[in-house]
Amino acid sequence: MTESFIAAVVQAASLPADPLASAHKAAALIREAAGRDARLIVFPEAFIGGYPKGASFGTPVGMRRPEGREDFRRYHEAAIDLGGPEVTALAEATGETGAFVVIGVIERDGGTVYCTALFFDGAKGLVAKHRKLMPTGAERLIWGFGDGSTLPVLDTPLGRIGAVICWENYMPMMRMAMYDQGITLYCAPTADDRDAWAGSMRHVALEGRCFVLSACQHITRAAYPVDFDCALGDDPATVLLRGGSMIVAPLGDVIAGPDFSGETILYAAIDPAEVVRGKYDFDVTGHYARPDVFNLTVDVRAKRAVSQVGLPAGKE
């Protein structure tokens, strides 16, 4: 069984209009956390590419204003390609430190952007991604929808690591799909900074008998461009996301956070044996399941808009 280790959740502000600067900041924070012996490091939702808190993208019902289209163009420009320099900077930091990192990014794929969690495994670099299945509310105006092909739970020396982003955590079947894969280190990058979020994270830990690591940005209006369209106003001191990052043990005990004080890194000792101890009396996809009554089917096929079948004439 894996020995106890240190995990960290990073509560920091990104640079929403500068993805490469955000990646370099993340790399510095990876090195800082690893310097304090953290072997698993979790960053917030949309840390690279930016969470556009308060923006409307010029879209009243039935209308798309020209300035909103320009806002989207700039947001698309600030998203990242997975072969780009931002991923290289993160891979270098994880390769140097040997840390396993889960980080939220805005991923660009053609004309669409996705809210994505990337998984970096030490010297292996980028090993997997999860695209958010269900953007919440107005997020649906700007983010594409993930599919079942990016729901990984990765087997690592630290445990089985997966990620569920923000309000995906309120999708019972999504959680069940994670539990069924034996997740022990349940990462929850989020932009939800409400007091009630802590209760949700404790529930997930208790339900899944897993460690939950939730990371949210602490960011002010000053981090965004002056002309950023923000319904919360333009006072640079206005806090747009106030943190609340935390780590929870498998019986629902909070072992770090929630913290609302500002930018910080939270640390906690993770004892993998606690997962099995917790499942003694509750294993939601094992001895506590009732497959004779309830059954979940998960479609993990990639869903593409265009599929090419066969070869063009003369190419056989």
Residues 60, 70: Cα–Cα separation, whole Å = 15
E strand or H helix that includes residue 77: helix 66-78
Chain segment 170-179, per-residue pLDDT in tens: 999 999 999 9
Chain segment 63-92, per-residue pLDDT in tens: 999 999 999 999 999 999 999 999 999 999
Q: Kindly name the residue from 25, 53, 86, 166 that is annotated as catalytic.
A: 166
Chain segment 54-67, per-residue pLDDT in tens: 999 999 989 999 99
Is 53 annotated as catalytic? no
Q: Kindly name the residue from 45, 86, 207, 274 that is annotated as catalytic.
A: 45
pTM of the model: 0.94
Is 166 annotated as catalytic? yes
Q: Kindly name the residue from 25, 53, 115, 132 that is annotated as catalytic.
A: 132
Give the residue among 218, 225, 190 at the shortest CA–CA distance from 204.
190
End-to-end CA distance of the chain: 52
- As a whole number, the mean pLDDT across the chain is 95
Is 77 annotated as catalytic? no
Compute the half-sphere exposure of residue 269: CA atoms within 13 Å on the CB side of its CA.
5
